[in-house]
Structure 1
Amino acid sequence: MTSLDDLPIRDDLRGLTPYGAPQLEVPVRLNVNENAYRVPEEVALDIVQEVARALPDANRYPDREFDELRRSFAHYLGHDVTPEQIWAGNGSNEVLQHVLQAFGGPGRTLLSFTPTYSMYPLLAQGVGMRWVPVPRDEGFTVGPDTVRAAIAEHDPDVVFLCSPNNPTGTAIDLETIEAAADAARGIVLVDEAYAEFARDREQTALTLLDRHPRLLVSRTMSKAFAFAGMRVGYLAAHPAVIDALRLVRLPYHLSAITQAAAVAALRHSDVMLSRVDDLRAQRDRMVEELSRLGYRPYPSDANFVLVAGVDDPQATFRALLDRGILVRDVGLPGTLRITAGTRAETSALLAAMAELRPE
């Protein structure tokens, strides 16, 4: 029987395993930073109606330029962002892939500050470019001097800054982002997938776009918008950058159904985001109560908490799973990453962590 090893795949893909977190049916799922709340019924009904209007024309290709969706994203983002500055894809990972396809490739480098989102090196590998990981400062922060020094040393073609950072939850201040944009000769992308959960949502790299034509800011509807199952990501950048991304997209890459659903959801952004404050409250509750239990959670601007002081992460992971609670071991020694859930889910998690804490 033919196996993967028998196939003529690329040499740099041999021995690798596909990216993915466990998908298990358990009562409390706190492992992949999903929004714990379902799409509100009133919004779901409007989405269904919008999709129904699009379906009779499914025999035709969708709007290649997704003009209505771009207008909707520009209106939602504010900060004088125009529709011509918007790009979108099937999840923010596809948007990041488009960026690397356009500005990366063989002989080029992607620099990011670790620990960070584990897809970055995989996306780089997918387009044949080299990934350069640079350690973060103490407490998983990144400051202007660190950014300048790393860019001066490695001269990357693309820099990815994740803020708030996954898996640590730490934000990068605007001074540091501007330092990167000033120092880099190539592209600097700020991955703001969790921006809506930040303590200060006005501290966004969107405010720097008008001064830096090679700065990109990516977002997603998966987290704050409770749209993980719909796969919609987007970015804002100079219109010339958008022109570059058009060169690498697949034809008609955003289906008419995807566009219709996203446009409808964005019409209800206030309702869709209504639970964000609840999730931020549960995140802060986790930090406070886990600290009281003797764990060492890091401050977070995302919808999750990286919890240090876990003596045996794998044993704790299994013990929580036995109790119907799924969290994430991200491979950082002595830590687990835990998504903020509903109040009931957070209570179950805290009770279990208290039970597992050695006296």
Structure 2
Amino acid sequence: MRNVCTAAPQLAGLEPYDPKYLPAEAFLSANENPHDVEQDIRAEIMREVKRVPLNRYPDPLANDLRDMIAEANGLDRDQVLVGNGGDELLFNLALAWGGPGRTFLNLPPTFSVYDANARLTNTTVVNVPRREDFSIDEEAVLARLDEGDIDFLIVTSPNNPTGELANEEFILRVLDATDALVVVDEAYFEFSRQTMRPYLAQHKNLAILRTFSKAFSLAGVRMGYLLADAEVVREFVKVRQPYSVDAVSQAIARVVYQNRAKFEPGIRTIIEERTRVIEGLRMIPGVKPFPSDANYVLFHVENAAQLWEMLYGRGILVRDFSRAPHLKDCLRVSIGSPEENDAFLKALRDAVMGKCDLKVPSA
């Protein structure tokens, strides 16, 4: 049997994205919405799905859904693009604006997929690290942009995994300082109530990324969308995979978007629970939660990796960032149901106070 030649050189040393999807009683690691889609909406989804001809290819650009999103945002269809989750759109960004001889400005710690996509496309990555409190080093970013060689950057607001909003005035200064494509990742904007949408008309180099996965409880469906100038959208269309968003997902997303107001009570509950979880974390000795405008909270605690194992021993899965660059001894907890949040806070307090055995259940 012959061997196989090596994969592309840019894959060397690149670690696959690993969401640590493990069995648990309380899934508080992936920033999912703890509330599933309500039964009346599910029934409407089933009726819509039954009408989908499964033997036909889907509308390649999901134009019905584009029209709905455009109307809701005061835009035209050609200023909206739908993707197979925000992840597809992020990879398309690296394909369209990155590549050999191109440069991406990254603001770590942030979503690790940005850096991975750049490296996969042979894009040069320039890092401007955040400050110790995870705020953006605004003057350092502007100084780096002033060198003139940046092709695109992503400002995540709220930032993942740290949770804080980017300063609106800073983003406007960035937009005025460069002709690079400035993508504002607003995957969690429904929980922050802040968006750069009002500035799209004045800034051709602004693009906004959003998702159905969080506020609209569709993490299992994979649906994201981009708001941008029509010329920017056309460049994204050139690199996207044909039929990347299947007909069933389009049908589900149309129903959910039509009913998006019904998700508002659940969003408000998550925001209220976020405040309660932060206060609960502050009351545990040695735990430092960071401010959050999203549906998760990053917190610092000594021996974080061991505490992660203790929590998992109690059936509670949170995200371990303790070995990630810039995030030593940090864990991130998604806001769950009130019962899940209570169980998490109690288990963490017990672990910190030495009342919890180190035990990890078998997978």
Name the TM-score, length of structure 2 as normaliser: 0.92
Which residue of structure 2 aligns with residue 296 of structure 1? 288
Structure 2 match to 1:38: 36
Q: Secondary structure at the match of 1:277?
A: helix
State whether structure 2 residue 347 is matched by structure 1 residue 352. Answer: yes
Q: Is 1:144–1:179's contact at 8 Å kept on the other side of the alignment? A: no
Alignment partner of 1:128 is 2:128: no
Q: Hey, what does 2:81 align to over in structure 1? A: 87
Alpha-carbon distance, 1:65 to partner: 2.7
Match of 2:101 in 1: 107
Give the CA deviation at 1:215. Answer: 0.6
Asked if structure 2 preserves the Cα contact closer than 8 Å seen for 1:28 and 1:326, the reply is: yes
TM-superposed deviation, 1:133:
1.6
TM-aligned CA deviation for residue 252 of structure 1 = 2.1
Name the SS for the 2:82 alignment partner.
Answer: strand
Q: CA deviation at 1:253?
A: 2.0
- Residues 155 and 184 in structure 1, CA contact (< 8 A), matched pair in contact too: no
Backbone CA RMSD of aligned residues: 1.7
Say whether 1:262 aligns with 2:256. no
Unaligned runs of at least 5 residues, structure 2: 355-363
Give the counterpart letter for 1:209 in structure 2.
Answer: L
Q: CA separation in 2, counterparts of 1:166 and 1:23? A: 18
Given the alignment, which residue of 172, 187, 204 partners 1:193? 187
Give, in angstroms, the shift of residue 154 of structure 1. 6.6
What secondary structure is seen at the aligned counterpart in 2 of 1:62?
coil
- What residue in structure 2 maps to residue 343 of structure 1? 338
Moved more, 249-258 or 344-353: 249-258
CA distance in structure 2 between the aligned counterparts of 1:182 and 1:272, rounded to whole angstroms = 35
Whole-angstrom distance in 2 between the partners of 1:234 and 1:20? 23
Aligned to 1:231, the other structure's residue is in SS state coil
Q: Alpha-carbon deviation of 1:7? A: 4.1
2:174 partner amino acid: A
Q: Helix, strand or coil for the counterpart of 2:319?
A: coil
Check whether the contact 1:147–1:176 (CA below 8 A) recurs between aligned residues: no
8 Å CA contact retained: 2:128, 2:140 = no
Name segments (4+ residues, structure 1) moved above 3 Å.
Answer: none
- Cα offset, 1:185, TM superposition: 2.1
- Cα distance between partner residues in 2 of 1:46 and 1:150: 50
Q: What does the per-residue CA deviation read over 1:30-57, in whole Å, with 9 as the maximum and x for residues that have no partner?
A: 1111111111111111111111111xx3
Task: Give the deviation of 1:138 after TM superposition.
Answer: 4.2
Contact 1:91 1:231 in 2 (8 A): yes
Report the counterpart of residue 14 of structure 1 in structure 2: 12
* Candidates 30, 43, 57, aligned match of 1:61: 57
Which of the residues 126, 137, 144 maps onto 2:131?
137
Cα offset for 1:101?
Answer: 1.1
What is the identity, as a one-letter code, of the residue corresponding to 1:48?
M
Does residue 1:210 correspond to 2:208, yes or no? no
Tell me if the contact between 2:96 and 2:236 (Cα under 8 Å) persists in the aligned partners. Answer: yes
Deviation at 1:153, TM superposition (A): 4.1
Q: Could you tell me how far 1:59 is from its partner in structure 2? A: 2.4
| 1:84-106 superposed Cα distances (whole Å, 9 cap, x missing partner) | 21011100010111122111111
Cα pair 2:61 2:82 within 8 Å, conserved: no
- Matched AA of 1:306: L
User: Whole-Å Cα distance in 2 between the matches of residues 2 and 272 of structure 1?
Assistant: 55
Report the CA distance shift for 1:31/1:7 in structure 2 as closer, same or farther (over 3 A): farther
1:8: how far off?
2.0
Three-state SS of the structure 2 residue aligned to 1:344 is: helix
Equivalent residues of 1:90, 1:232 under 8 A apart: yes
Secondary structure, counterpart of 1:219 in structure 2: strand
**Offset at 1:144?**
4.2
> Could you tell which deviates more after superposition, 230-239 or 255-264?
255-264
- In the alignment, structure 1 segments of 5+ residues that lack a partner are none
Residue 269 of structure 2 corresponds to residue 275 of structure 1 = no
1:225–1:273 Cα contact (<8 Å) kept:
no
- Counterpart CA distance in 2 for 1:144 and 1:13 is 32
Q: Could you tell me how far 1:83 is from its partner in structure 2?
A: 2.0
In 2, Cα distance between the equivalents of 1:244 and 1:46? 35
Of 328, 332, 352, which residue of structure 2 is paired with 1:333? 328
**Residue of structure 2 equivalent to 1:305:** 297
Say if 1:315 and 1:225 are closer, same or farther in 2 by CA, change over 3 A. same
Kept after mapping to 2: 8 A contact 1:303/1:339: yes
Q: Distance in 2 between matches of 1:268 and 1:95?
A: 24
Structure 1 residue 274: deviation in Å?
A: 2.7
